[in-house]
Amino acid sequence: MRVFMFILPIMFIVGSFSWYILNKDHQEVPPTTRMWLSIAAMFLSGILAFFLFPKNEMPPKK
């Protein structure tokens, strides 16, 4: 459940932000390299989020 609540949104945000920054500020980097850098940033952020967020971080049911 935490995959859908935390990890995937974080990966999407990091990927889109890295793609935006690379396209805006680093035009000299080839497009294929920019794509691989964004993908690597997405996976790294997903792995970090997987280990940093606790497994049972759900609000208590009432």
* Chunked mean pLDDT (size 10), the chain, 62 residues: 80 95 93 95 94 72 70
Per the listing, tokens 């889109």 go with 16
Using an 8 Å Cβ cutoff, are 47 and 3 in contact?
Answer: no
CA–CA dist 50, 52 (Å, integer): 6
Q: How many domains does the chain have?
A: 1
The structure tokens listed for 34 are: 């920019």
Using an 8 Å Cβ cutoff, are 53 and 7 in contact?
Answer: yes
The structure tokens listed for 27 are: 């035009």
Model pLDDT, residue 52? 86
Using an 8 Å Cβ cutoff, are 51 and 62 in contact?
Answer: no
Q: Which domain holds residue 36?
A: 2-52
Model pLDDT, residue 57? 57
> Does 47 map to a domain?
yes
Total-model pTM = 0.77
> Does 31 map to a domain?
yes
> Does 57 map to a domain?
no
> Does 60 map to a domain?
no
Residues in the chain: 62
